[in-house]
Amino acid sequence: MTDPSNQLHLAVALDGAGWHPAAWRTDNARPAELLTAEYWTDLVSEAQRAQLDFVTIEDGFTLQSDDKFTPDQRTDRVRGRLDAVLIAARVAPRTRGIGLIPTATVTHSEPFHVSKAIATLDYVSTGRAGVRVQISGRPDAAKHFGRREVVPVTYASLDDPAVRASVVEHFAEAADYVEVLRRLWDSWEDDAEIRDVATGRFIDRNKLHYIDFEGRWFSVKGPSITPRPPQGQPVVAALAHSGDGYRLIASSADVGFVTPHDSDDVARIVQAVADEQHAVDRTDPPVRVFADLVVFLAATPQAAADRLAHLDDLAGTQFESDAEVFVGTPTQLADLLQDWHARGLSGFRLRPGTLPDDLTQISDGLVPELRRRGLFRTAYDAGTLRGLLGLHRPANRYASA
């Protein structure tokens, strides 16, 4: 039997045909269906079959690019996406148990719009919604909106003082954005809707609240137009690679995705996030820290290595990632997850190198091995995403005692 105190959490990050740029050219890929509801429903249903905690869905305001900071003109890569929130809303009624966390780029969007979209997703999914907040510092994204200038960033300029100042501002803006989201989700008390036909009272207007947020980037009156979500607060997640991101996770997120490359790195990052939580006096609930891993799985180590080599040949370049790249068997991956989990991680977000092949390997190979070791659930044990993650339903900040 699984010991809940020893249980790790497991999620997958879904993006197109998979995280390898040549994934769309493999035998089992479905490139003609990437923009269909059926494709995304099948992927999430496969993750649900393994009782994974949640899936994340990638999104952005620019076309995908091999260089994260600048556009490219390649025609041999998957380009183009559906809106992640709308994918999640379409998939939600056809799935059960599994959480749905679409990505929202907060740099150029309005928190009022995203708050009601994610609140709606929480209703549609009956309490399984979240959102991954993502910043964007690319000039080509800014030009879609024409409201601000951004400092161009390259790998070579990351230490430039002007670039550093811009990055710090983006993260500070994201923190304010999340604060507005959370206030808007609380702007309706849980019992604000009366729905009393006899008296003709549908709502108690005294239980709708102005949030009156005034900050450098946002001035939002409120209340929301959408009643408080089923979870009270849908799950907020963020990806971080360094101190600025760790600070955002510690102050604003329920779930933080990080990118360690070995067990010592795990311990260092977990401590860094804990230190940031202490700095902002956050104790309850502590953030759930997930390590990101890109995975290429097969029945033998050599077969997995051959798979990646074939993909690299198709792509014409060796695969690289911000996250650690794991190549091996599901049992070997279970060994790594068990070791890193013991170093303080709450869980893992696996990025399948190819879809559906590596996702199926997770369902049919990795999850049974983790269950054999008593490290993963055998069924969904909570009705909401917050419940799956061991997060309580928060009290409404505006409700009187």
Domain of 106, CATH number, reads 3.20.20.30
In a domain, 398, yes or no: no
In a domain, 61, yes or no: yes
In a domain, 338, yes or no: yes
In a domain, 395, yes or no: no
- Cβ–Cβ under 8 Å, residues 31 and 77: no
Per-residue pLDDT tens digits for 236-250: 999 999 999 999 999
CA distance 191 to 228: 9
In angstroms and rounded to an integer, the radius of gyration of the C-alpha atoms of the chain is: 21
Range of the domain at 138: 4-388
- Cβ–Cβ under 8 Å, residues 362 and 352: yes
Answer whether residue 5 shows pLDDT above 80: no
Answer whether residue 3 shows pLDDT above 60: no
CA distance 95 to 252: 28
Better-predicted residue by pLDDT, 180 or 153: 180
- Cβ–Cβ under 8 Å, residues 251 and 283: no
Better-predicted residue by pLDDT, 261 or 156: 261
User: Given this model, what pLDDT does residue 1 score?
Assistant: 41
In a domain, 401, yes or no: no
Span 351-377, average pLDDT? 98
In a domain, 399, yes or no: no
In a domain, 316, yes or no: yes
Enter the tokens of residue 131.
Answer: 């959102």
pLDDT band at 35 (very low <50, low <70, confident <90, very high): very high
Q: Give the three-class secondary structure for 365.
A: helix
In a domain, 397, yes or no: no
Q: Which of 128-142, 154-168, 314-328 has the lowest mean pLDDT?
A: 154-168
Q: Which residues contact 256 (CB under 8 A, 6 or more apart)?
A: 237, 238, 239, 240, 246, 249, 250, 273, 287, 288, 289, 290
Place of tokens 């390590």: 291
Answer whether residue 401 shows pLDDT above 70: no
Answer whether residue 2 shows pLDDT above 80: no
- Cβ–Cβ under 8 Å, residues 158 and 216: no
Q: Which residues pair with 307 in a beta bridge?
A: none
Question: Structural domain tally of the chain?
Answer: 1
